Structure 1
Amino acid sequence: MRMEDSRPRFSQRHPLMFGVLMITMAVILFLGVTAFVRAMGWTSGNFALGKDSLGVVHIEGMIMDSTDVVDWINTLRRDEDVKGVLLRVNSPGGAIAPSQEIYEAVKMLAAEKPVVASYATVAASGGYYASVPSQIIVANPGSITASIGVMAEFITVTEALSKLGIKPEVLTTGKYKAAGTPIRELTDEQREQLLGMMLDMHDQFVTDVAEARGMERARIEEVADGRAVTGRQALALGLVDLLGSKQVAFDKLKTMCGIEGTAILVEGPIHEKTFMEEVLGSIQIDISGLTNSVGSWSFSYK
């Protein structure tokens, strides 16, 4: 005859440790399911197969690299189940080339599917440039947008070095090579050459905005002096199409796509969080002051 074990269970002998283990197992299970969902491309409730889907592209913060955003835009463009795309923009601008790469991706997307841009707090300079090919742009009355222009910035420390008795030497193979180095003042020729580059970048910006908005170039040039404007001012200038919230933008997109009722949202690009970020949340570092530097100087749309 088998005797029953009368010893207390592990959960009874170590209730605290048992509780911690159960919580840990629950977290691991949750993360495993989350990873599986992401691997299958399911986001924002996209579990209802066969229903109309709308893509959402988040363009946030300083635009220093376009890879994730462009890849996500192309994914939505190729997905036949995605009927239209909303660009949710909250960016003050950033580096020039990445803004242009997003511009081109949005332009290709808008040639195949309805695209509506929704401006949050700010969609200025590179943030405006990247999203301007959208067929409809919706801004809040108080959104900050436009700021069409190019900025270059650098510092020089020549006077400080001189006071310390330091005399730097810079060897180059050409008179323009060291333009913008912090240990030399710009020469007149270097300043003229850099301004020439900026004017060409500015010309590209104005040309692309005029083309995307279907406006005369002269009208864009009138406001392409770096000024930022509110959403309401932008509407009067023809830089946006509607005033309203994100919901207004979604409703407009659904109408353009012929969708009635609820649509499934497929949002991205996805930021893959670490285990600790998932459990405890992430610590964010503000890089809003950074630009796309070449040597010690930089050009940016901001």
Structure 2
Amino acid sequence: MKKKIIAGVVLGVVALTVVLAVILKPEGGSVAGGGPGKGEVGIIYIDGPITGGRGGGGLFETYTSSEQVTSALRNAARNPDLKAVVIRLNSPGGTAAAAQEISAEVERLKRSGKKVVASMGDSAASGAYWIAACADQIVANPGTLTGSIGVIIQYLNLEELYSKIGVDTETFKSGPHKDMGSPSRPATAEERAIFQSMIDDIYNQFVDVVARGRHKDPAEIRPLADGRIFTGRQAKELGLVDRLGDLHDAVLLAGELAGIKGEPAVVEIGPKNIWQELFAGAGGNTFRKPGWLAIPGREGDGYPLGLRQF
């Protein structure tokens, strides 16, 4: 009976949320400011951890899929009304491949003639900074947490725990390294070397992207690329950020770079989570989660062997 009551309350809250969204949502589109013919600036949101695939979070979690963002970027490139795009980042990072997919699409967007500005919210670190580095300009709040240029692989060694609770495993494999990262045994010296070679390769790719985006030599970036995080103000002093300001400042900068006279019209072009869809135009940012500061390291959480780039 108690479970039925709880389920009924949850369904009631969801139903009420939908009704309020319909009632409160104003008429018209998502364009704000500016006017016809003045040029538009699109905003693409990246919230939470960045992963590959087609997901995007559920009712009580927020993450961003690379496929959703790349699709939005391609739509922006094809839209003749959009003169510039602001990528709003509230993210601690994510997998390297997902960041690379989005970064590649940002480069294509710039080649289409659009200007791109990265706007940093609570955090824009690691993979999120990888993406930001590809923009024409980066705007951060003074208190934004950014940087964290580096790569990490972690996995749990549960061998002793398994022994204490009487769990034993048998492994049949086609090659000596097929079960690398298994929690039932420690890594061998050769496997540690393999993992480190992977880390070094992705790390060098990361440094090269940042150096190219910030118009610096990789040797200038490496002293800053030891995994540490910076505030937005520190990042600006170090040349990792161009300006200090909020999202509105980033929109104005995008319009300025695109040659738009006056305040540009603003169009949200995705991706959005379920709360943003429900409350679009009715205080839609109320339910936007701030960027997470850490990603739990669990097998099966979307990061192979706990591969997470912070």
Q: TM-score, normalised by structure 1?
A: 0.79
Q: Superposition pairs for residues 170-249 of structure 1, below 5 Å? A: 170-249=171-250
Asked if 1:300 is matched to 2:281, the reply is: no
The separation in 1 between residues aligned to 2:39 and 2:177, in whole angstroms, is: 56
2:296 alignment partner in structure 1: 289
The separation in 1 between residues aligned to 2:288 and 2:76, in whole angstroms, is: 30
Counterpart residue identity of residue 143, structure 1: T
Are the structure 2 counterparts of residues 183 and 272 from structure 1 closer, same or farther at C-alpha, using a change threshold of 3 Å? closer
Identity %: 34
Whether contact under 8 Å (2:211, 2:217) holds in the other structure is yes
Are the structure 2 counterparts of residues 47 and 249 from structure 1 closer, same or farther at C-alpha, using a change threshold of 3 Å? closer
The separation in 2 between residues aligned to 1:153 and 1:223, in whole angstroms, is: 22
Whether contact under 8 Å (1:83, 1:113) holds in the other structure is yes
1:77 alignment partner in structure 2: 77
Can you list the C-alpha shifts for 1:210-258, whole angstroms capped at 9, x where unaligned? 1111100101111111011111111121111111222222222221122
Q: Name stretches of at least 5 consecutive residues in structure 2 with no aligned partner.
A: 1-15, 52-64
Q: CA deviation at 1:143?
A: 0.8
Q: How large is the Cα RMSD of the aligned pairs?
A: 3.0
Whether contact under 8 Å (1:144, 1:231) holds in the other structure is yes
1:53 alignment partner in structure 2: 40
SS in 2 for 1:68: helix
Q: CA deviation at 1:265?
A: 1.1
SS in 2 for 1:197: helix
SS in 2 for 1:205: helix
Q: Superposition pairs for residues 1-302 of structure 1, below 5 Å? A: 27=19, 30=22, 42-45=29-32, 49-64=36-51, 65-111=65-111, 112-271=113-272, 273=274, 288-289=295-296, 292-294=302-304, 297-302=305-310
The separation in 1 between residues aligned to 2:85 and 2:307, in whole angstroms, is: 30
The separation in 2 between residues aligned to 1:142 and 1:259, in whole angstroms, is: 29
Are the structure 2 counterparts of residues 239 and 82 from structure 1 closer, same or farther at C-alpha, using a change threshold of 3 Å? same
Whether contact under 8 Å (2:252, 2:264) holds in the other structure is no
Counterpart residue identity of residue 52, structure 1: G
Counterpart residue identity of residue 214, structure 2: R
Q: TM-score, normalised by structure 2?
A: 0.77
Q: Name stretches of at least 5 consecutive residues in structure 1 with no aligned partner.
A: 1-23
Can you list the C-alpha shifts for 1:49-90, whole angstroms capped at 9, x where unaligned? 544211111111100120111111111111111011111111
SS in 1 for 2:153: strand
Which fold has the larger relative contact order, with Cα–Cα distance below 8 Å and residues 6 or more apart in sequence?
2
Counterpart residue identity of residue 121, structure 2: A
Whether contact under 8 Å (2:41, 2:251) holds in the other structure is no
Whether contact under 8 Å (1:106, 1:131) holds in the other structure is no
Are the structure 2 counterparts of residues 193 and 30 from structure 1 closer, same or farther at C-alpha, using a change threshold of 3 Å? same
The separation in 2 between residues aligned to 1:43 and 1:266, in whole angstroms, is: 6
Are the structure 2 counterparts of residues 283 and 49 from structure 1 closer, same or farther at C-alpha, using a change threshold of 3 Å? closer
The separation in 2 between residues aligned to 1:231 and 1:75, in whole angstroms, is: 30
Structure 1 or 2, whichever has the larger Rg, is: 1
SS in 2 for 1:176: coil
The separation in 1 between residues aligned to 2:278 and 2:260, in whole angstroms, is: 36
The separation in 2 between residues aligned to 1:116 and 1:277, in whole angstroms, is: 27
SS in 2 for 1:184: coil
1:18 alignment partner in structure 2: none
Q: CA deviation at 1:271?
A: 3.1
SS in 1 for 2:150: coil
The separation in 1 between residues aligned to 2:87 and 2:123, in whole angstroms, is: 13
Counterpart residue identity of residue 306, structure 2: S
Are the structure 2 counterparts of residues 299 and 246 from structure 1 closer, same or farther at C-alpha, using a change threshold of 3 Å? same
Are the structure 2 counterparts of residues 56 and 29 from structure 1 closer, same or farther at C-alpha, using a change threshold of 3 Å? closer
Whether contact under 8 Å (1:292, 1:300) holds in the other structure is no
Whether contact under 8 Å (1:46, 1:265) holds in the other structure is yes
